[in-house]
Amino acid sequence: MNTDDLNFAYKVRHALNERLDELPASTTDRLAQARKMALARKKAHVEVPLAVRVLKTELASAGGFMSQFNWLGRWGMVVPALALVVGMVGIYQYEQQERIADLAEIDAAVLSDELPLDAYLDHGFNAYLTQSE
């Protein structure tokens, strides 16, 4: 919790404690019972090793140093996404060039009469030509 949260919690606790003596007994009993139930549900406290606490305080005191590297977090997602988009555009362009080269090869073969006459009579070849156009 940061200091603003702690200050707010202390203010709320103080405001609630001011009028505690004026509450009816039934209300205080219900509040005590609710507190006991909440404490029963609370997770067990886990002790943090000293090395972790020391490291955490050192990092908190070096906030100026760490804030210099905040831009790395922002760019850490942008750069790979940009590389992915550039790669996909490159693959698309490459595939289009390959398709154009294949069509040009077929056109050149048709125009130069290098295909046998049976190729023109083959319905599969005609379907291939219409599909590839």
Matching residue, tokens 């943090």: 48
Is there a domain that residue 107 lies in?
Answer: yes
Domain span at residue 87? 72-132
Is there a domain that residue 120 lies in?
Answer: yes
Segment 74-87, tens digit of pLDDT: 777 888 899 999 99
Segment 68-126, tens digit of pLDDT: 556 667 777 888 899 999 999 999 999 999 999 988 887 787 777 666 666 667 767 66
* pTM > 0.85: no
Is there a domain that residue 79 lies in?
Answer: yes
Is there a domain that residue 99 lies in?
Answer: yes
| Total of domains in the chain | 1
